[in-house]
Chain A
């Protein structure tokens, strides 16, 4: 259904462009727009696989996107985006409908705005989730894995349903609320992260994902604070155990301070996971995953930026070194946590082109995908070097 909506939107837009002369094109006055991006990365790790066979140097991280939007009036806009994402063994690059939505602003005045969004829309979650696949908006080559796990990317990526959007400006204070209700497109990355791939897990969402984000901005974004949450239940079938359910609560606290060329960002995630059913055999896996990162950026010159980031993730927030989880569940302790330091440089020679280079020193492997690594064969201490080039228009 959504695919047809995009096709007909794009088709309609294309026909409109074809049918008018150059002079009439000005009638659009920028109301019809097409944008896109192409990103290619190179990844080299000393050990372990991350976005492809990275020990030998991987080019298996590529993102292509194209979108079209049409503003019917100041209060009504339709937009859709197609995305092809190649990410090692996690994503094969086949095109997906990233979003296809209609936004309607029900009320607006100088200080307030209330609107509805229907269709498939990106979830505003933390500071970066809604444009996580767009290099030009990411805080680095990779999303900070402590919050925005690539191995369970689809869990909060987007939802098919409706969103409520409200904003209130009071002097230099801006409050923004987004409420989400919809189906989440679950994929095998999610299935194989919340259950052992050896069980051949299949999951379906029970009901809908409810969630939202409350964002506060002071002085045009000098200080930003956000609280995000998403709550979902997955019905799971496996080849070994009786059926069961997995309840996942995903909560993120985000804070950012921008001052001239400096910027400091902190995000913290807390994720209680409750395994129900499975005749009680997975009760032992119940846990609260947590993680945080702290990133400092400095704009050296108008085209250059340096950053450093420290990230930490734990499978069980009460077992930071993974030893208890290892004893309970089997795989080595270092697969239950990660601590990493990253240093990166960004160069934006033009408005459209960006280059990044980054180096990370990593202890632990929690964020590695089971689809790319056998947890028992991973190495605890490893380094990651990556390059990225991205063009957007």
Chain B
């Protein structure tokens, strides 16, 4: 019985830790940037900045507004609510000044797309990053 309690407590703690896990900004290996400023990250994810400093196109990948990872990413790294980010995309899309980011449905798909698309940027939880993508820090 004690073990069961312990397992439950441990599971609970793990869940809690999982939920509080930080989200990492992740890029394709061919992008040479070492760090990005917060305003550049905001500009990239609001679809205003469209190229890397070397002129290569940026491909932005996001998950759905309701996904916990996307909510965490928006709030922690951009300082925006998902609905505010979506409104920024809509203002661009419906005035002809920009395009929407590419939507993925899972972290596996996010990792695969970022690994295989030159110029790609997205985000992953710590457990999902591997050697096929690169974490990039925000200064």
List A residues at the B interface (Cβ < 8 Å). Answer: 29-31, 33, 35, 37, 65, 67, 69, 71, 73-75, 77, 79-81, 99, 101, 103, 105, 108-110, 121-122, 124, 130-131, 134, 136-137, 167, 169, 171-172, 174, 219-222, 258, 261, 299, 302, 348, 351, 392
CA distance A351 to B84 in the complex (A): 12
Which of A99, A105, A302, A351 is close to B81, meaning CB atoms less than 8 Å apart? A302
In whole Å, how far is A178's beta carbon from the nearest beta carbon of chain B? 10
- Per the bound structure, the CA–CA distance linking A137 and B98 in Å amounts to 15
**A30-B59, A74-B51, A110-B53 given; A121·B99 CB < 8 A:** no
28 A-B residue pairs with CB within 8 Å: A30-B101, A31-B57, A35-B100, A65-B94, A67-B93, A67-B94, A67-B96, A69-B99, A74-B55, A81-B94, A81-B96, A105-B50, A108-B51, A109-B53, A110-B40, A122-B95, A131-B91, A134-B94, A136-B90, A169-B39, A219-B79, A220-B39, A220-B78, A261-B81, A299-B83, A302-B81, A302-B83, A351-B64
Q: Distance (Å) between the CB of B40 and the closest chain A CB? A: 6
Q: How many A-B pairs with Cβ below 8 Å?
A: 108
The distance in angstroms between the C-alpha atoms of A101 and B102, with both chains bound, is: 23
Q: A79-B96, A81-B96, A134-B94 are in contact. Are A30 and B102 (CB under 8 A)?
A: yes
**14 further A-B pairs in the complex, CB-CB below 8 A; given A71-B99, A351-B66:** A35-B94, A37-B94, A71-B57, A75-B51, A79-B96, A99-B95, A108-B51, A110-B37, A124-B95, A169-B43, A220-B39, A261-B81, A299-B83, A392-B90
Q: Is B58 an interface residue (CB 8 A)?
A: yes
Query: In the docked arrangement, what's the CA distance between A80 and B94, Å?
Result: 9
CB distance from B82 to the nearest CB of A (A): 7
Q: How far is the CA of A348 from the CA of B87 in the complex (A)?
A: 12
**Residue contact A121 to B53, C-beta cutoff 8 Å:** no
The CA-CA distance from A80 to B83 in the complex, in Å, is: 25
Return chain A residues, CB-CB under 8 Å to B90.
131, 134, 136-137, 392
Q: Which of B64-82 contact A (CB under 8 A)?
A: 64-66, 71, 78-82
